[in-house]
Homo-oligomer: A and B are copies of this chain.
């Protein structure tokens, strides 16, 4: 299978394929045509074929896709089973929500090792996943020993800005699931970043609700 560079818009669609195929798999569907998958996902069959062709294609002409095989292969492309070691910084309401579902990170390619916070009122408390919140001051020692590569950033923008140099330059973190609004890409090269701006999506809904056809 050839793995030449793939456009970000294709990459952004892969998790959605993976999710729909996971639902089909759980419901016992063994095989699905690109037409039927397209109908369920509200895209075109040619979009599906085009996207999957970026990775060599997986369909057998006229037979449709083997759901289990396609789910596994897309998971492999996404790295869902690679288990990159990760930490989470900020054990507030959002941070706790993200770790609430067991295996949430493991099912998506990350092994969550520890959770850090700076607040004395939170440090030492036991989370739903059984982890004890560690002080941010222990980051260097922890990272030196366990070598996490990804950090989930659940602290405000200004705090993230203050911690960024330490994380990237001193501790070797090079991937960020970033809820902070701080723009890592603007300051560091060769970091993998996904920024989540929930508020932006709420504003998009405001637009759509106000500009209805």
- Complex copy number for this chain: 2
B42–A183 CB distance below 8 A: yes
- Residues 176-212 of A, flagged 1 when their CB comes within 8 A of B and 0 if not, give 1100010101100010111011111111111111111
A210–B79 CB distance below 8 A: yes
Q: Does A142 contact B (CB under 8 A)?
A: no
Q: Which of B93, B94, B177 contacts A205 (CB 8 A)?
A: B177
Which residues of B lie under 8 Å from residue A202 when comparing CB positions?
Answer: 104-105, 108-110, 177, 194
B200–A19 CB distance below 8 A: yes
Q: Does A164 contact B (CB under 8 A)?
A: no
Which residues of B lie under 8 Å from residue A84 when comparing CB positions?
Answer: 206, 209-210
Which residues of B lie under 8 Å from residue A177 when comparing CB positions?
Answer: 201-202, 205
Q: Which of B16, B82, B149, B201 contacts A194 (CB 8 A)?
A: B201
